[in-house]
Amino acid sequence: MKIVATATLLIVEGTGQGTRFQIGRRRAGIGRGADNAVRLPDSEASRFHAALEWAETGFVLSDLGSVNGTFLNGAQIDRQRIVDGDQLQVGQTVLLFRVVGVGSSKPLPVDLVSGAEDRSSIVSAIDPPEGRRPVTAAEAGTETSAGSSEERPFESVGVSESTEAEALASLAALYRISEEVADPTATLETILQGILDVALEVVSADRGCVLMVSRESGLPVPRVYRGRGHMRDSRSCDDTMPVPRSIVDVVMMQGHGVRTSDAQHDNRFSGGRSILQAGVREAVCAPLVGRQTVLGVIYLDTTTDVADVMKTRSPAGRLTEESLRLLVAIGRHAGLAIDGQRSQQALVKAERLAAVGQAIATLSHHIKNILQGVRGGSYLINLGLKDHDEQLIEKGWGIVDRNQGRIYDLVMDMLTYSTDRLPAWKRADVNGIVTDVCELLQARAGETHVCLQCELSERPREVDCDPEGIHRAVLNVVVNAIDAVEGRPGAKVSVTTGIDSSAEWAFIDVEDNGTGVPENEMPQLFAIFESSKGARGTGLGLAVSHKIIGEHGGEIQVENSPGAGCRFRLTWPLRTAEPEEPDEGAVAIES
């Protein structure tokens, strides 16, 4: 069986927050240098700070002799295995490590049995915690099947005073559960697996599973399964875990946590593939109580060999009333976590739809203005053709040509912003790129009475970059500067190239003598569709430039003087080695 393993690193704190890097089978460098697969615009990170690579036991994080050290979950390390959910810190940047795509298509080894196979004897139950009572499956109209289980009265056990040791142990367990559900980036399966792991440990059960009510069928279906490492392998049946439907139904319908004990000694379990054959000695089952409804159940049991069951008529029980009370509390936490995760998904979906709507509205308005210009120019061309008036044709064509350029720029900005890509690295003359940008915009600057100047550095003339990307990034920033000073007396925009004093960064400065950026607009300066130009701006230009420079491992620094102008510095690290080839493949683990 082949299992596919890939990973991601998500910046959760620091510059570039929200950026996600895909980690594949090849060694991934982490650092400030542009040669790294994970490029961080962090001045406190070394150029080649750390590396993440696959080893036989999993992913391994190594420090590469960095100045400020590499930290894993708050502790400085040299080389250490990294697992799903770990946080690493490089300089001032904190990244979350996630393993994705791990597993196979094999279904969970959980069988929801019914009929004569699941007539378990419920010996005690615990009511849900006090507070708002959830809607049970019966009240919500959820389909459940009690099979042929006989209704048997059971004792409702109230919550008694726990000993101090038990209370502290329960508090520690709930604290660990809170940590499991607190991660906003975790998937539902990850949350449930973490909860189930803790539950198995603190309740001392052998195996367990979580069943959730399917939104499609309304029936409980397995979502996660776990077995403890010490569980015996000498069971008389296969590895499938039978879960009595009668127990699940009672918990779902009544909202109680229940405990079954010594089910294998009940005379109803004879013949066939019974729970006796699976070796179940005792089990606990608790509802996953959300804010409004019961969402599913968490089920734990203990197992033993059939021979041991036959020898011992009264095996010592490991699942006590305290175990059930703790599992009920865990179920409440899990239910709230599921509700929260679903609410988060709904919120993200709503925000995504709102962003799509905003994009459509903004782009439609801008495209409409461009098309109106094209129609106006076309009208003048048609008049000129009818009257054989070349001046009118030339005037109309000038309008069409300008709007053609506007629609081209808009489409290119949209494509650039919407696509995650690695720069097409080449040795390029930065002075030549800036000169070409200034020549393209001289006519526009002249029309708006803006003086556009270039001040070019003599060293070095060529650096590694994506020439087309840098060209578009500079073009957008210069256009923004020209628009900012339009109509001001003595309007001026200057573009400067150079290398910083440490000879590690190339930079391009774009400075204007306009009114500057209001302080309240600075936090949204590079946000998409944020524009102070009204109908003239798309809100794409600066966002695209920021993205391109970020892909180079650099950043755009802004020196703002309200009322006296603004300077944008586009800076990216110089490269000293060949880049790492992008690796989009996954690690294949043979098992």
pLDDT digits (tens, 9 = 90+) for 181-208: 776 667 778 788 888 888 888 888 888 9
pLDDT score recorded for residue 122: 64
pLDDT at 156 over 50: no
Share of the chain above pLDDT 70, in %: 74
pLDDT score recorded for residue 215: 80
* pLDDT single digits (tens) 525-542: 888 776 666 555 567 888
Highest mean pLDDT among 14-28, 76-90, 119-133, 301-315: 76-90
Helix ranges (DSSP H) in 234-389 = 245-254, 275-278, 306-311, 321-387
208 or 246: which leads in pLDDT: 208
**Same fold yes or no, 165-228+243-306+318-345 and 421-573:** no
Q: Please compute the mean of the pLDDT values over residues 532-560 and round it to a whole number.
A: 80
Highest mean pLDDT among 17-21, 34-38, 64-68, 408-412: 64-68
Report the CATH fold assignment for 165-228+243-306+318-345: Beta-Lactamase (3.30.450)
Q: Which sign, positive or negative, has the C-alpha torsion 358, 361, 364, 367?
A: negative
Q: Which CATH architecture has domain 5-101?
A: Sandwich (2.60)
Q: How far apart are CA 379 and CA 431, in angstroms?
A: 41
Residue type, 425: W
Q: Are strands 93-100 and 2-13 parallel, antiparallel or unpaired?
A: antiparallel
pTM, rounded to two decimals: 0.54
In sequence order, what E strands does 195-279 have?
207-213, 220-227, 241-244, 257-261
Q: How far apart are CA 35 and CA 16, in angstroms?
A: 17
Do the beta carbons of residue 496 and residue 509 sit within 8 Å? yes
pLDDT score recorded for residue 68: 92
User: Which numeric CATH code is attached to 421-573?
Assistant: 3.30.565.10
| Domain ranges within the chain, ordered by starting residue | 5-101, 165-228+243-306+318-345, 361-417, 421-573
Exposure string over 69-93, b if 16+ CB within 10 A, otherwise e: bbbbeeeebeebebebbbbbbbbeb
